[in-house]
Structure 1
């Protein structure tokens, strides 16, 4: 059974700011320890949930403390109304489909 290390961030953004937010949101470079990343938008385009999979919690923490991530978060800040985030450990559920 493979364990995953996952960082989840949900942001509510200002109305009409989706395009600008998306430009600020994408990092210039991606950390090597990042394995996969997904983004999910609400129908109204005002809430975005990002899910990233990491090699380890320490690798995620290191990226979050980096200058590149600080710059990215500063660039996003003018478009964010609210933000919730957290780190999780978990595994894929076997659904039993054949």
Structure 2
């Protein structure tokens, strides 16, 4: 099974600010080494989880310490009340055929 390199962030968003946050959240240009990215919102729009899959830990770390990511975080800051992040390594689980 193939290993995946995943960076996850969970952010609390100020009430009524989800739409503004989404505009600030998207990186431009997209980082090198980024394979896939997903976003999941709570029903109340006050929490968002970002899940991104990377070629390697090094490609993720290069983005996280880049000027582009610093600018993106600065643009998001007015809308965020709390942030947690972590890097994981894992693989897809095999689900038995039913």
1:65 maps to which residue?
A: 65
Structure 1-normalised TM-score? Answer: 0.97
1:23 maps to which residue?
A: 23
Deviations 1:27-80 (A, max 9, x none): 111112000000000000010000000000011000001001100000000100
Unaligned runs of 5+ in 2: none
Alignment of 1:53-92 (within 5 A): 53-92=53-92
Q: Distance in 2 between matches of 1:56 and 1:28?
A: 20
Structure 2-normalised TM-score? Answer: 0.97
Which runs of structure 1 show a deviation greater than 4 angstroms over 4 or more consecutive aligned residues? none
Number of aligned residue pairs: give it. 98
